[in-house]
Amino acid sequence: MANIQGPAIFLAQFISDQAPFNSLTGIAQWASEKGYKAIQVPTLNPEIFDLEKAATSQRYCDEVIATLAKNGLQISELSTHIQGQLLAVHPAYAELMDQFAPAEVQGNSEARTQWATNQLLLAAQASKNLGLKAHATFSGSLLWPFVYPWPQRPAGLVEDGFTELAARWLPILDAFDQEGVDVCYELHPGEDLFDGCTFERFLAAVNNHPRANILYDPSHLLLQGMDYLGFIDRYHTRIKAFHVKDAEFRPSASQGVYGGYASWVERAGRFRSLGDGQVDFKQIFSKLAQYNYEGWAVLEWECCLKDADIGATEGAPFIAKHIIPKTEKAFDDFASGVQSADLNQQLLGLK
């Protein structure tokens, strides 16, 4: 019987130059002590995880697996959120995005795109070497400056943007397909894939590629005013990864979805620690169980108020409490009676 796996934790918000967060051994012990069973691993911190080594050395991957196993952990997914972002960068954001790129490609959009492509291809191979089935990433964005249609967008602009985005992703999706790994796009404002409509546009542009899938994060949908539960009903066949992140949206007479350039603490829409926001996780876990989601439930901690260590401490039992061990029989099986084709015909008045 397929069950949601967890709890797991995304390490991006915790890695630092301070122990225990500056080595794989240290952060693995920390995560294990918090009650997590897996870690989602960013791939731009070679002191924690060396992506190039993982792509080219099975021995290195086996060592990583063994290090985690000593702490009762495994990897849920690798993450290339930053590299995916850098695959497609609008010039308006080029200087800001360059801070995430190696010095040798900064200021050169073509070189930056090629570097990001190579990183994603490495991630496909590394995921296979680690025995993973899903990968977490961002789509990048060529169209975000035009998200609100004023001035009016020129005819064909959106179509051209998605055509170009698809052209950049198709060889990467093919590489992941060759390795048997799903690419899971976190639908996120600032990316060209930020809701169901944009995902559907992209899916059409990549010819419904079987490896083009979704990292479901309800916080980003709630802050857009979307039906994040109905989203599961509509897209469950493409949901292959899951960030457990809470949020709240409290619009006022002076502020709404766009936030008025306010800080996170002062925004109408804010990320919160698990249980402190408005996301209905009971229904989310129920729907994912209903549709046989069998991937990991991964805490992504991003709270504008609560201390990070407290958020991580509370996150593991919160997730564990919400995972539904699925039943193998119906609750009313005891009253099912005798199965008989003849009896069914009699009950219908046909005999």
Q: Is a pLDDT exceeding 80 seen at residue 334?
A: no
Q: Is a pLDDT exceeding 90 seen at residue 330?
A: no
The whole-chain average pLDDT of the chain stands at 96
Parallel, antiparallel or unpaired: strands 134-137 and 269-272: unpaired
pLDDT band, residue 332 (cuts 50/70/90): low
Residue 256's alpha-carbon distances to 223, 231, 277, 280, in angstroms, are 10, 22, 17, 21
Predicted pLDDT at 196: 98
Q: Is a pLDDT exceeding 90 seen at residue 336?
A: no
Half-sphere exposure of 318 (CA within 13 A, CB side): 22
Predicted pLDDT at 327: 75
CA 132/CA 240 separation, integer angstroms:
12
162 neighbors 110 (Cβ within 8 angstroms): no
Q: Which of 102-111, 203-212, 336-345 has the lowest mean pLDDT?
A: 336-345
For residue 76, give the nearest of 105, 114, 40 by alpha carbon: 40
Average pLDDT over residues 248-270: 97
CA 130/CA 179 separation, integer angstroms:
11
Q: What superfamily does domain 5-347 belong to in CATH?
A: Divalent-metal-dependent TIM barrel enzymes (3.20.20.150)
Average pLDDT over residues 93-111: 97
Predicted pLDDT at 144: 97
CA 310/CA 253 separation, integer angstroms:
33
Predicted pLDDT at 175: 98
Q: What is the pTM of this model?
A: 0.95
Instruction: Name the DSSP letter for residue 254.
Output: S
For residue 42, give the nearest of 71, 8, 13 by alpha carbon: 13
165-212 tens-digit pLDDT: 999 999 999 999 999 999 999 999 999 999 999 999 999 999 999 999
28-86 tens-digit pLDDT: 999 999 999 999 999 999 999 999 999 999 999 999 999 999 999 999 999 999 999 99
CA 17/CA 26 separation, integer angstroms:
11
For residue 217, give the nearest of 202, 199, 203 by alpha carbon: 199
Predicted pLDDT at 346: 87
